[in-house]
Structure 1
Amino acid sequence: MAGSIYGRLFQISTWGESHGKGIGVVIDGCPAGLPLTEEDIQIYLDRRKPGQSRYTTSRQEGDTAEILSGVFEGRTTGCPISILIRNQDQRSHDYSNIMDSYRPGHADYTFDMKYGFRDYRGGGRSSGRETIGRVAAGAVAAKMLSELGIHIQAYTKAIGPIIVPETDYDFEELYKNPLYMPNADLALEAEAYLKECISAQDSSGGVIECTINGIPAGIGDPVFDKLDASLAKSILSIGAVKGFEIGDGFQAGAARGSGNNDCFRSENGCIQKASNHSGGTLGGMSDGTPIVFRAAVKPTPSISQPQNSVDKNGRDISLVIKGRHDPVIVPRAVVVVESMAALTVADLLMSNMTARMDSLVRFYK
């Protein structure tokens, strides 16, 4: 299967299936000397771990990270870093009724059309559980970025119709509610909405917003490898994400140039922007201001309502999906978005080192 490798210099390769023996990632290109422990990775894995609230699947997984290579005496060696997370609570029999059927909203049909075969146990490689490898690698990338003063924060912007306005953000509330929403009152409203969805045997979508602070100007390239284009590809590679926008995003389509342009000004000899409609990029490169983007996450496709579908022989059927599923994907996807952003920025930072001759001279002389 192609397409399991991401990045060029800071490169990752994820592997494993939802109901296989384990899931993992190999990271190639991480510089030597980075302080790294399994606890650094576990902090990130715990944020996407199932079974932590009524708004996540009841599947009980420890999701414990094991570093198998690339770290010695608490520091990276420059060799490939291999990380394993073992699966411990599979219920493959929950999926026996759909082995010959195509679930609406899932990759069952397209997987069959491409490969002529699929692992029907929880979606196999197409399961959201695949993102564990991304999160483990993202934890390493984030640790590297923090050494450079770059910090990434993702959070729940919206659950269904409940949206947190930017003027009402309170980031002290972010980890005090199970939805990772930066507003206590709106988090309670969102929880009430989700209870309605659960009662109706339905699910909800939402929006994740992410901010990258501390990234210097000039990261990214002006044509195919734009910073915003690279972020879009990485975020849209997350299975549940159906939309991406940066800065004002689609609102820019209704704006005028006089209102959408970010004017420059000088403060104490430093170039600043008076606003940030562009979301921290200009011409595909970072402009030194915070990068702000959003990802639209679809409702969980596995719902308990009867749904019309077909089997692999084309016969009409009524399908009821069994198993343990999240009524909303958004809270557990927050750290996945954060991780993919970290991987993208880490790779582009390393690529940027070859952009200027004076950078090479400083490094080698």
Structure 2
Amino acid sequence: MAGSSFGNVFRITTWGESHGKAIGVVVDGCPAGLHLRERDIQIELNKRRPGQSPYCSPRDESDKVEILSGVFEDKTTGTPISLIVYNKDQRSKDYSEMQNIYRPGHADHAFDLKYGFRDHRGGGRSSGRETIGRVAGGAIAKKILASFGVEITTYTKAIGPFAVDMGNFDKEEIYNNPLRMPDSRVVPATEEYLRGLIKDGNSSGGLIECRVDGMPAGIGEPVFDKLDGTLARAVMSIGAVKGVEIGSGFEAAKRTGIENNDFYRMGTGGGIQKVSNHAGGTTGGISDGSPLVLRAAVKPTPSIHKMQHAVDKESGDIDLMIGGRHDPIIVPRAVIVVESMVALTILDLMLLNMGSRMEYLERVYGGPRA
């Protein structure tokens, strides 16, 4: 299977299946000398772990990570870092009847069309558990970025018809509620909405927003490796994400040029500043020093306890009600996945950027030699 790796200099390769023995990631390109312990990664993995609220899968997994290579005496060695998480609570029998069935909204049919074979237990590689590797790799990327003052804040912006009032934004609230919403006032009504869907056997989609502060200017390449283009590819690679927008995003299509342009003014310190940030922190594919703003649209969980039209490849048309353990909404657990993919993208492009000027190379290797 091609396409399990992401990144150029800082590169991750995820591996494993939802109902296999284990799942994990190999991280290559991490500089030597980074202080790294398993608990640094575990903190991030705990944010996507199942079984923590009524609004996520009750699958009982600790998702405990082990570092197999690339770290010695709590410091990275510059060699590939291999991370593993063992699956402990698989219930493959829940999927025994799905071997020949193509479920609506899942990758079953597409996998058969491509490979002529598929792992029907929990979706195999297309399962949401694949994102464990992304979050583990992202934890390392975030630790490096934090040392340079790059701060990433990601949260649930909306669930179904309920959206966060940014006037009530409280960063500390994000991980104080199971929905990862930074507005405590909207949480009760949203929870009531979700409880109604759960009772009805249904699910909901939502919107995740990510903001990056301290983003250095000049990151991203102006053609195929644009910052916004690479971010879109990274976030769209998350299985449940069906749309990505930067800055004003799709709202820009409704505006005129005079409404959407970000005007410039000289700042008090002599530098150039933007009056607004409709571009979302990237212009011409290159970061401009403004906060980076990205949003991801997440589809409703396709595994629902309602009757749906499906096909059994042996018997033909059937009506299907999916059992098993599933998230009634993917959004809260996907918040850290989006954040991780953003971190991986930014760090990789920052490392690529080190060769964009002679002066950058001179800082590392010294000036001209006689």
TM-score scaled by length of structure 2: 0.97
Indicate the residue corresponding to 2:195 in structure 1: 195
Give the Cα separation in 1 of the matches to 2:331 and 2:324.
19
What amino acid is aligned across from residue 353 of structure 1 in structure 2?
Answer: M
Distance (whole Å) between structure 2 residues aligned to residue 236 and residue 39 of structure 1: 28
Q: Map 1:1-12 onto structure 2 (within 5 A).
A: 1-12=1-12
User: Against the structure 1 CA distance between its residues 271 and 196, is the aligned structure 2 distance closer, same or farther, given a 3 Å change threshold?
Assistant: same
> What SS does the corresponding residue of 1:66 show, helix, strand or coil?
strand
Is residue 305 of structure 1 aligned with residue 306 of structure 2? yes
Q: 2:135·2:337 contact (CA, 8 Å) conserved in 1? A: yes
Letter in 2 for 1:42: Q
Letter in 1 for 2:328: P
Cα deviation, residue 168, structure 1: 2.8
Is the counterpart of residue 226 in structure 1 residue 203 in structure 2? no
Q: How does 1:121-132 map to 2 (within 5 A)?
A: 121-132=121-132
Q: Which amino acid aligns with 1:29?
A: G
Query: Could you tell me which residue of structure 2 aligns to residue 276 of structure 1?
Result: 277
In structure 1, what is the Cα distance between the partners aligned to 2:12 and 2:176? 32
Determine the structure 1 residue equivalent to 2:353: 352
Runs of 4+ in 1 over 6 A off after TM superposition: none
Q: Secondary structure at the match of 1:212?
A: strand
**Counterpart secondary structure, 2:101:** coil
The amino acid across from 2:364 in the alignment is: F
Taking the aligned partners of 1:232 and 1:344, their CA distance within structure 2 comes to 10
How far apart, CA to CA, are the structure 2 residues paired with 1:230 and 1:248? 17
Q: Secondary structure in 2 aligned to 1:173?
A: helix
Name the residue aligned to 1:139: 139
Match of 1:341 in 2: 342
Residues 25 and 84, structure 2, Cα contact 8 Å, conserved in 1: yes
1: CA distance between counterparts of 2:152 and 2:97?
Answer: 42
Residues 1:314 and 1:114: Cα distance change in structure 2 (over 3 Å):
farther
2:293 maps to 292
* Per-residue deviation, 1:259: 1.6
Gaps of at least 5 residues in structure 1 are none
User: 2:115 corresponds to which residue?
Assistant: 115
Q: What secondary structure does 2:186 align onto? A: helix
1:328 maps to what in 2? 329
Counterpart-to-counterpart distance in 1, 2:43 and 2:183: 23
Counterparts of 2:58 and 2:292 in 1: how far apart (Å)? Answer: 35
CA distance in 2, matches of 1:362, 1:66: 36
SS in 2 for 1:331: helix
State the alpha-carbon separation in 2 of the partners of residues 237 and 122 from structure 1: 18
Residue 96 in 1 paired to residue 96 in 2?
A: yes
Deviation at 1:167, TM superposition (A): 2.6
Distance in 2 (CA, whole Å) between partners of 1:332 and 1:179 is 8
Q: Residue 74 of structure 1 corresponds to which residue in structure 2?
A: 74
Superposition deviation, residue 272 in structure 1: 1.4
Partner of 1:185: helix, strand, or coil?
Answer: coil
Partners of 1:222 and 1:169 in 2: how far apart?
Answer: 34
1:165 is displaced (CA, Å) by 3.1
- Hey, what's the Cα distance between the residues in 2 that align with 1:24 and 1:174? 27
1:172 CA drift (Å): 2.3
Shift of 1:312: 1.8
Q: How many residues align?
A: 365
Identity %: 62
| Separation (CA, whole Å) in 1 of partners of 2:343 and 2:81 | 17
**Distance in 2 between residues matched to 1:122 and 1:320, nearest whole Å:** 15
For 1:3 and 1:314, locate their aligned partners in 2 and report how far apart those are by CA, in whole Å: 33
Task: Kindly provide the amino acid, as one letter, of the partner of residue 292 in structure 1.
Answer: V
CA shift at 1:278, angstroms?
Answer: 0.4
CA distance in 2, matches of 1:21, 1:135: 19
Matches within 5 A, 1:138-177: 138-177=138-177
Corresponding position of 1:178: 178
Residue of structure 2 equivalent to 1:19 = 19
The CA distance in 1 between the partners of 2:351 and 2:165, in whole Å, is 35
| Shift of residue 314, structure 1, vs aligned partner | 6.6
Question: In structure 2, what is the Cα distance between the partners aligned to 1:120 and 1:319?
Answer: 15
Could you tell me how far apart the structure 2 residues matched to 1:141 and 1:25 are?
13
2:244 is paired with a residue whose SS is: strand
Distance 1:174 1:325 in 2: 23
Q: 1:270, CA displacement in angstroms? A: 2.2
- Output one character per residue of 1:213-255: Cα deviation in whole Å (capped at 9) or x when no partner: 1111110011111000000000000000000000000010111
- Paired position in structure 2 for 1:34: 34
Superposed displacement of residue 360, structure 1: 1.0
CA distance in 1, matches of 2:329, 2:287: 32
* Letter matched to residue 232 of structure 1: A
Q: What is the alpha-carbon distance in structure 1 between the residues aligned to residue 222 and residue 338 of structure 2?
A: 24
C-alpha deviation, 1:321, in angstroms: 1.0
Across the aligned residues of Structure 1 and Structure 2, the Cα RMSD in angstroms comes to: 0.8
Contact 2:165 2:183 in 1 (8 A): no
Distance 1:97 1:161 in 2: 35
